[in-house]
A = this chain, B = another copy of it.
Amino acid sequence: MNAEIITIGDEILIGQIVDTNSAFLGQQLNKIGIDILQITSIKDEQDTILKALKDAENRVDVIITTGGLGPTKDDLTKHTMCRFFNDELVLDQNTLQHVEDIFEKYVNHPILEANRSQAYLPSKCIALNNQYGTAPGMWFEKEGKVYIALPGVPFEMKGLVRKEVIPRLKDRFNRPFILHKTVLTYGLGESAIADKIEAWHNNLPKFIKLAYLPSLGRVRLRLTARGDDEEVLQSSINKEIKKLHELIGDIIKGYEDENTIEENIAKSLTDKHLTLATAESCTGGRLAAKFTEIPGASAYFKGSIVSYATSAKHDVLNISKDFIQAHSVVSAEITKEMALSVQNLFKSDIAVATTGNAGPTKGDSDAEIGTVFIALAHLSEVTVKKFNFGNHRERVTQKAVNKALEMLYDRLKD
């Protein structure tokens, strides 16, 4: 069972937007045992779309397109599907009702002919109800293959995939199992890990594949097993992970399954009834954003003070000007004070603080570009660590966020 994703739209090709839809589709299809062989992004031109559909049906069983379903002239997918399936547009009453309802409820201008025209669909398709927008998805079948057209707006597409596409694909096809297990490591580079696990890698069973995913100070090792017997796959993966632990157990920090590291931290804090606050200088609110992304964050996350300007460390975090002067604004001492100060202000059990110099210029400190201090206050105990994350602004802040999460995660595991 395999699939191809075709994303339609010049905005992807000229880099005006990043295509996040494909990643979401890849995850969701993979979970039900459908392998994505290719993702193809193309222009919204009828002939190009037709060619891509023809090429894809020679490769795969399921073809999913996103984009080109809006109400305007540059949205061509529906008409192209009519050409591809030798079909014509007919009015779908349910869709018309849905479009009219949305306009009545949410839109501040009267419904237009262009909106009503969204209810005209190819006669051969099954309309998939789009709960977040006016453009329905479309499901076609031809000679044992399935063709699905979805809107390009991410949350509309996601809603359709969860509510309509996945359940229908599960019903429609017998699928094998694909299991992934991703081991999260930090502390050693990709090539050094490869050196340590070479013999093990060479002896992996044929149905298990290993991939290295290095990123910002972490290396993830992904094991993928494919086959018809889920139990065999699961036990084989577990056996290999056990062997891996004997080889590099010291750098294995956990597993990336469904959960991100921040979700694991959230769970741990909630379970232990602990609360958290952050004081952020170089990470500029990104740590807080990570935590508040997760529904239910108010159970453990009190808040954050982004003390970006040096004056804010004095005015808001109440660190004395003399102390800042004495130690410099990017220093272990200040970072420690920041953690204690937010812990006190927010009345939280745990506090994390970051300061650093992400570059490109030195700012209000003498610290070398790339220098980052991270402090962790847990009740009355404070630890501070110093890092150098190199000379690339975006990378420095991202690595600082990652490292802060790792320090917190390690601390909560103790």
Interface of A toward B, CB cutoff 8 Å: 9-20, 22-28, 30, 35-44, 70-74, 106-107, 109, 112-115, 132, 153, 155, 180, 182, 188-192, 194-195, 201, 209-215, 222, 224, 275, 277-278, 280, 284-289, 291-293, 295-298, 301-312, 315-316, 345-347, 359-361, 363-364, 390, 392-395, 397
In the complex, A296→B30 CA distance in Å?
43
Q: Is the CB of A214 within 8 A of B153?
A: yes
26 residue pairs from A and B, CB less than 8 Å apart: A12-B39, A15-B24, A38-B40, A71-B190, A72-B194, A74-B210, A74-B212, A132-B392, A153-B214, A155-B392, A277-B312, A284-B289, A285-B287, A285-B292, A285-B306, A293-B394, A295-B361, A297-B308, A298-B308, A298-B309, A298-B310, A298-B363, A302-B309, A311-B346, A315-B345, A315-B346
Chain B min CB distance to A393 (Å):
6
CB-defined contacts of A284 to chain B, threshold 8 Å: 288-289, 291-293, 297
User: A-B pairs with the 7 shortest C-beta distances?
Assistant: A284-B292, A285-B288, A15-B26, A285-B285, A15-B27, A15-B23, A304-B306
Q: Is the interface of A mostly helix, strand, loop or mixed?
A: mixed
Q: A285-B285, A298-B364 are in contact. List 20 more A-B contacts (CB 8 A).
A: A13-B36, A14-B30, A18-B18, A19-B22, A22-B41, A39-B39, A71-B194, A73-B210, A109-B189, A113-B195, A153-B215, A155-B392, A155-B394, A280-B288, A284-B289, A286-B289, A295-B359, A295-B393, A303-B306, A303-B307
In the complex, A364→B298 CA distance in Å?
9
Q: Is the CB of A17 within 8 A of B305?
A: no
How many identical chains are in the complex? 2
CB-defined contacts of A192 to chain B, threshold 8 Å: 109, 112
Chain B min CB distance to A403 (Å):
15
Chain B residue nearest to A288 in the complex (CB) = B285
Q: Is the CB of B11 within 8 A of A39?
A: no
In the complex, A359→B155 CA distance in Å?
15
Q: Is the CB of A292 within 8 A of B315?
A: no
CB-defined contacts of A10 to chain B, threshold 8 Å: 209, 211, 222, 224
In the complex, A285→B294 CA distance in Å?
13
In the complex, A286→B288 CA distance in Å?
8
In the complex, A359→B297 CA distance in Å?
11
Q: Is the CB of B36 within 8 A of A191?
A: no
CB-defined contacts of A180 to chain B, threshold 8 Å: 14, 16
CB-defined contacts of A364 to chain B, threshold 8 Å: 298
Given known A24-B15, A112-B192, A191-B71, contact A155–B395 (CB-CB < 8 A): yes
Given known A26-B14, A38-B41, contact A194–B114 (CB-CB < 8 A): yes
In the complex, A158→B42 CA distance in Å?
23
Q: Is the CB of B293 within 8 A of A303?
A: no
